[in-house]
Amino acid sequence: MPKKTLSAVTWLCVLIVAFVSHPVWLQKPPKRKTPAQPKVPACCEEVQELKAQVANLSRVLSELGRKQEKDWVSVVMQVMELESSGKRMESRLTEAESKYSEMNNQIDIMQLQAAQTLTQTSADAIYDCSSLYQKNYRISGVYRLPSNDFLGSPELEVFCDMETKGGGWTVIQRRKSGLVSFYRDWKQYKQGFGSIRGDFWLGNEHIHRLSRQPTRLRVEMEDWEGTVRYAEYSHFVLSNELNSYRLFLGNYSGNAGNDALYYHNNTAFSTKDKDNDNCLDKCAQLRKGGYWYNCCTDSNLNGVYYRLGEHDKHLDGITWYGWHGANYSLKRVEMKIRPEDFKP
């Protein structure tokens, strides 16, 4: 659509340039020859006039030809300017559209959840996004999981991905705006932080609880060229706090190059105030995050968010060595989990 509009704009520019420099076109529109039995003198007058007009027109055209080259440059420049402002408008429009659809989703979800609290009994408590999915919630967005005394789980706000590979994913981590610092202490990583629609860590305690059933982990990544890759792991377990939220992973599958989480398998969680790593260094302080630091990293998904231009200059960024190496900080990351036996 914008392409069409732009080429129309191009022609409009050409016409405007032509009319402005040769107003004679506007003053004397060529007369149409009436085909119905022309009388001889009228005919000749008309023909003469037409001839004159044609002569004028070809003079105008040749003049225009000379002028055209000069004008063309400015027309092209104007079109390019329009095009770039068009692109800006377009991206603003997509942004607004996605905001709007997210709002719509949120309203739908609220309505569904309001209806659901009326019918919910303690027997069918909701544990995560996959159980919501099984109850026919199929919209990605923010949901409120009710507290459950039996399971000892508090009320929890989660973001559900109900689309990727069948949906049912509870998002446990997201990096996309860079507005939330991930250089936090043990207690904050335990409880969770950030904003559920933006950048956040769900909280080690919650992740531990959600991974008590056999669980799959999916890591989605995007680089600054817009390429998207993923890594998936079977048998994801986050042990409890007594075991320092130690990470366990099964086999890797995906297209994110070499597996960059395997190095962190069977490794405790470390933060700037709790050094549980396998290194003389304090990895959490070197890599500026909270993570299952070994000595130190093969990936650092909770590292510092660096923007384009700064993204390839630091070793404490959001890295995945198996894809872009040790000093390339990714543009977007999402970590999400769902039960191993989930059937969409």
Ligand X SMILES: *[C@@H]1O[C@H](CO)[C@@H](O)[C@H](O)[C@H]1NC(C)=O
Catalog residues that contact ligand X under the rule CB under 6 A: 28, 49, 52-53, 56, 234-235, 248-251, 262, 265-266, 313, 325, 327
157 binds, among Ca ion, ligand X, none (CB under 5 to 8 A by kind): none
Contact range with Ca ion by CB under 5 A, out of 73-81, 151-159, 279-287, 302-310 = 279-287
Question: Which residues contact residue 92 at a Cβ distance below 8 angstroms, ignoring those fewer than 6 apart?
Answer: none
Identify the three-state secondary structure at position 263.
Answer: helix
CB of 279 to Ca ion, least distance (A): 4
Question: Residue 215 contacts by C-beta under 8 Å, 6 or more apart in sequence?
Answer: 235, 236, 237, 337, 338, 339, 340
Alpha-helical regions (H) of the chain: 2-21, 24-27, 40-119, 129-134, 186-191, 204-210, 283-287, 321-324
Least spacing, CB of residue 106 vs Ca ion, in Å: 43
What pairs with residue 216 in β-bridges? 338
Residue 277, contacted partner among Ca ion, ligand X, none, CB below 5-8 A by kind: Ca ion
Tell me how far, at minimum, the Cβ of 256 lies from ligand X, in Å. Answer: 15
Q: If binding is defined by CB under 5 A, does position 272 make contact with Ca ion?
A: no
| Max Cα distance, the chain (Å) | 111
Residue 275: contacted member of ligand X, Ca ion, none (CB under 5 to 8 Å, by partner type):
Ca ion
For tokens 């769902």, name the residue: 338
Beta strand pairing status for 169-175 and 237-238? unpaired
Residue 42 binds: one of Ca ion, ligand X, none (C-beta under 5 to 8 A by kind)? none
Q: Please answer whether residues 216 and 233 qualify as being in contact, where contact means their C-beta atoms are separated by less than 8 angstroms.
A: yes
Kindly state whether residue 277 participates in binding Ca ion, applying the rule CB under 5 A. Answer: yes
CA distance 227 to 133: 28
The least distance separating Ca ion from the CB of residue 281, rounded to whole angstroms, comes to: 6
Nearer to ligand X, 183 or 262 (CB): 262
Which single residue is written with the structure tokens 């007009």? 53
Selection from Ca ion, ligand X, none that 279 binds (CB < 5 to 8 A by kind) is Ca ion
295 lies in the site for Ca ion, by CB under 5 A = no
To ligand X, the closest distance from the beta carbon of 329 in angstroms equals 11
CB of 71 to ligand X, least distance (A): 20
Nearer to ligand X, 159 or 236 (CB): 236
If contact means CB under 5 to 8 A according to the sort of partner, which of ligand X, Ca ion, none does residue 341 touch?
none
In a 10 Å sphere around its CB, with 0-12 CB exposed, 13-18 middle and 19+ buried, how is residue 118 labelled? exposed
**80: its two tokens:** 């390019």
Q: How far is the CB of 143 from ligand X (least distance, A)?
A: 30
Site residue total, Ca ion (CB under 5 A):
3
End-to-end CA distance of the chain: 36
Q: Which residues bind Ca ion (CB under 5 A)?
A: 275, 277, 279
